[in-house]
Amino acid sequence: MAADWRSIPKIDAHVHVVLHQRENTDLTLHVAEQQLRAMDAHNVRQAIVLPINYPDYFPLSPEQRIDWLRANNEIQSQLMKESGGRFIAFADCGVDGGYEVAENSRAELTRAIRELGLRGIKIHPSNLKVPATDTRLRQWLDGARELGIPVIIHSNPSGNDPMFDESAPHTIYRALYGRDQLFVISHLGGIAFLETIAGSGYVDVSYALLMLAELYGIPFCERLLRRIGIDRILFGTDIPIFTYEDYESVFDAMDLADEDLEKIAFRNAERLLAGLPPIESD
């Protein structure tokens, strides 16, 4: 019988720390102390804390808003330093306000990694209102590759978004085609989840795994993860939108070997954070 999911140590590859309550958003107030308590209760030893590439993600002073990206990266760094090693924070990115210029993008990413200590970068095409193939994102990808850091790319197309097709997995794969890039497609690719089967890189299960379990059942989800490749799968929650309890019932119901559960729970994330691509499966 497979191990109890809560008993397995975990690295959560998709978490949001939210420092203010904002209207018309599903990202409710969720401060660092709340996240750390949840991690302690569910045997999560570390969490990758992600921004959402949006000026109002953190509460900023008028002075900070002049360069919101720089300020957001500094807050991400502070959250990581104050967590006692529990948070692994990723940098934000932008395509305007001067960051459409490659030199400025490279300088900020280098500062975020080498001076602030951030460990990767998050790209959210739909929030930035650009396709994943936009040339202004290429400079961030180039910088990440040169710095040897992973890129997490939001992929969860919404019918309410005019950029519906622009963050789907096939668009992301087109943007990354021919590049030696360490990357993660988030949310199992969202509603276009089947496209991840033919892709590469890591895939985190946040959000979409719960949706698919409800729509198609646990056996389908188990087969999907195997088809994508267990060595590519990262555990992620999208907290505070979902909870650790939401995922425990799904993983506990899967008929996966202990070794496979450990890969999903933390071993694959360890490879990602060490700068290593997924193990190539036969």
Mean pLDDT of the chain: 94
52, 68 in Cβ contact below 8 A?
Answer: no
Residue 27's pLDDT band, with cuts at 50, 70 and 90, is confident
Residue 281's pLDDT band, with cuts at 50, 70 and 90, is low
pLDDT digits (tens, 9 = 90+) for 226-279: 999 999 999 999 999 999 999 999 999 999 999 999 999 999 999 999 999 999
The fraction of the chain above a pLDDT of 70, given in percent, is 97
The torsion of the CA quartet 43, 46, 47, 48, rounded to 10 degrees, works out to -160
Q: What is the pLDDT of residue 282?
A: 45
Domains and CATH numbers, the chain: 5-245 (3.20.20.140)
> pTM to 2 decimals?
0.96
pLDDT digits (tens, 9 = 90+) for 178-219: 999 999 999 999 999 999 999 999 999 999 999 999 999 999
Q: Based on the number of CB atoms within 10 Å of its own CB, is 281 exposed (0-12), middle (13-18) or buried (19 or more)? A: exposed
pLDDT digits (tens, 9 = 90+) for 92-127: 999 999 999 999 999 999 999 999 999 999 999 989
Lowest mean pLDDT among 21-30, 57-66, 239-248: 21-30
Question: How far is C-alpha 212 from the geometric centre of its chain's CA atoms?
Answer: 19
Structure tokens at 237: 């929650």
The whole-number average pLDDT for the span 34-41 is 98
Q: Is the dihedral of CA 139, 15, 239, 244 positive or negative?
A: positive
